[in-house]
Amino acid sequence: MAQTFDLVVLGAGPAGYVAAIRAAQLGMSVVCIDNNVDKSGKAALGGTCLNVGCIPSKALLESSEHFARCKVELKEHGITTGETRMDVPAMIDRKDKIVHGLATGVGTLFAKNKVVSMLGTGRLAGGLRVEVTSVGGGSGETIEGKHILIATGSSPRDIDAVPTDGKVIVDSTGALDFEAVPEKLVVIGAGVIGLELGSVWRRLGSNVVLLEAMETFLPGADEQIAELAFKEMTRQGLDIRLGARVLSAKAGKGGVKVSYESGAGKQDVEVSKLVVAVGRKPNTQGLDAGNVGLLLDERGYIHVDEYCRTNLPNIFAVGDVVRGPMLAHKASEEGVMVVERIAGQESRVNYDTIPWVIYTAPEIAWAGKTERQLRSQAREYKVGVFPLSANGRARAMGHTVGLTKILVDRRSDRILGVHIMAPMASELIAEAVLAMEFGASAEDLQRTVHAHPSLAETTHEAALAADGRPLNYHG
């Protein structure tokens, strides 16, 4: 007889494992099925984000920034060091230890919350049944649930003209495990993933070229910040080529020959390594959606309503397999919403206040509307901008490139969007998200006391600037 659970979760990434834990807290019996394994072949919970995405990339970014400070910035502080060298295997080992520790922590949380963890691949078998095949293709079993939550995440999107080989032509996962700094590196894609990975290896000494097919740099970000970011990334040594469509890549003994086409015609570039970072695709291929009638769109995403309900009764889908941004925190909140609604609570996700972050140096973060979006809606708004160069803490840190920008409804004074380019922008944006979540006005931020000196003061000053009265800047 098949095991039966209140909730069957497919996937143990930020959406799946958080949902499983919250469901257990609400008194449900829960099983979470995941097929990810680490380098040693053992179960590795946490999904893409923890194992080969958000966490390892941030570990490498941190290491590379320390290296860059030692090479360039410490002299300005009066600190003299000897020759600075990078031990890449040690850096990768540190990254792996961080990942392993956090993945083990998810398993501990499962045990403490009495969530059953199964290593295998789950396939919808009709009704509320799931067929689980063990990793390696061994015999499986069928389990049943009163509810099913699909949180199978995403995987790197490939390019037909550029097949990866796992050695010199790799995807974003492979770029986290280079054994040495490539002499010359091409990254296909200048989006979030491409910029972060490119930044790591550029700071460590690689000659990095980013080939972006789009003519616009960071089209989802605020235009003013995108323009400033392009200048700063270029100043740091990233060679960003827009409107560059890659035609082919051929691996040879000396590396890779990449052919691409741009406004200047067809061009070739020879590099040591090639990274394909053109986005991600939903992991819905193995669900057997067609046979059970699960509705997918033309790009393979599962169709859901505002509460993440699919077209099949008691089957939900969240995270990277559904509409919306592929962000770990968005996925987690959707998972929590689903299980709380199953439990009878009136939970929901406010998609208007989900923060975005690019972990370059300086970081770029935003929440809410951009000017482009407000103009398209013919909405009247005010703009407040405060540059980091006028902020005391930024000057003391020696990091003055960037700004904080606030967009405010002209009639109601309500904050519509906040855009930040600054050190630790990922932390600074939290104040903006909280303010918008509570429907705050620009005046609310103007009257909120911010510590001095702090980077957070740029938010206060930008709010003042929206009414033409910043206290520490006259641009």
For residue 465, what pLDDT band results from cuts at 50, 70 and 90?
very high
The residue ranges of every structural domain in the chain are 3-156+281-349, 169-278, 353-465
Report CA 157 to chain centroid distance, whole Å: 15
CB 180 within 8 Å of CB 86: no
Confirm if 287 and 299 have CB atoms less than 8 A apart.
no
Q: What is the pLDDT of residues 323-351, one digit of tens each?
A: 999 999 999 999 999 999 999 999 999 99
- Answer for the pair 419, 370: CB distance below 8 angstroms, yes or no: yes
User: What local confidence, expressed as pLDDT, does residue 126 receive?
Assistant: 95
3-156+281-349 and 169-278 have identical folds: yes
pLDDT tens digits for range 3-15: 999 999 999 999 9
Q: Is the pLDDT of residue 138 over 70?
A: no
Query: What mean pLDDT is predicted for residues 277-301?
Result: 97
**SS3 annotation, 287-340:** HCHHHHCCCECCCCCECCCCCCECCCCCEEECHHHCCCCCCHHHHHHHHHHHHH
Query: What is the chain's mean pLDDT, rounded?
Result: 96
Contact (CB, 8 A) for 14 and 49: yes
**pLDDT at residue number 408:** 98
Cβ 432 vs Cβ 415: under 8 Å: yes
Poorest-pLDDT segment among 69-83, 100-114, 390-404: 69-83
Q: What is the CATH number of domain 3-156+281-349?
A: 3.50.50.60
Distance in angstroms (rounded) separating the CA atoms of residues 475 and 471 = 11
> 401 with 232: CB under 8 angstroms?
yes
Report the C-alpha dihedral over residues 95, 97, 102, 106, rounded to 10 degrees. 130
CATH architecture of the domain with range 353-465: 2-Layer Sandwich (3.30)
151 pLDDT higher than 70: yes
- pLDDT band at residue 474 under the 50/70/90 scheme: confident
The dihedral over CA atoms of 349, 353, 359, 360, expressed in degrees to the nearest 10, equals: 150
Q: What is the DSSP letter of 301?
A: P
Distance from C-alpha of 151 to C-alpha of 332, rounded to nearest angstrom: 10
Asked if 460 is an active-site residue, the reply is no
In the predicted structure, residue 269 carries a pLDDT above the cut 70 = yes
Type of residue found at 458: T
What are the tens digits of pLDDT across the range 394-430? 999 999 999 999 999 999 999 999 999 999 999 999 9
Percent of the chain with pLDDT over 70: 99
Section 267-288 average pLDDT: 97
Q: Do 460 and 393 touch, CB atoms closer than 8 A?
A: no
pLDDT for the residue numbered 173 = 96
Which of 77, 100, 303, 452 is flagged as catalytic?
A: 452
Q: How many residues does the chain have?
A: 475
Exposed (0-12), middle (13-18) or buried (19+): which is 359, by Cβ within 10 Å?
buried
Does position 135 have pLDDT exceeding 70, yes or no? Answer: yes
Copy the structure tokens of residue 158.
Answer: 């490939």
pLDDT in tens, 201-215: 999 999 999 999 999
Angle among Cα 337, 341, 345 to the nearest 5 degrees reads: 105
- Which of 395, 406, 393, 399 has the alpha carbon at shortest distance from 461? 406
Amino acid at 212: E
Q: What is the pTM of this model?
A: 0.96
* Lookup result for tokens 């893409």: 48
If we measure between CA atoms, which residue out of 183, 217, 171, 173 comes closest to residue 55?
173
Q: Rounded to whole angstroms, how far apart are CA atoms 472 and 10?
A: 52
**CA 293, CA 311: separation in Å to the nearest integer?**
8
Per-residue confidence (pLDDT) for residue 88, from 0 to 100: 98
Q: Among 430, 438, 437, 435, which residue's Cα sits nearest to residue 463?
A: 435
Buried b (16+ CB within 10 A) or exposed e, 158-181: ebeebebeeebbbbbbbbbbbeeb
20 in Cβ contact with 45 (< 8 Å): no
**Which strands sit side by side in the sheet containing 255-262, from one edge to the other?**
245-252, 255-262, 265-271
Residues 6+ apart with CB under 8 A from 434: none
- State the pLDDT at residue 354: 98
185 phi and psi, to 5 degrees? Answer: -130, 130
CATH match of 169-278 with 3.50.50.60: yes
* pLDDT of 137 strictly over 80: no
154 pLDDT more than 90: yes
Residue 40: the pLDDT is 85
State pLDDT tens for residues 167-212. 999 999 999 999 999 999 999 999 999 999 999 999 999 999 999 9
Percent composition of the chain: helix, strand, coil (DSSP 3-state, to 5): 35, 25, 40
> For residue 171, which phi and psi values (nearest 5 degrees)?
-95, -170
What the block records as the tokens of 95 is 């990254």
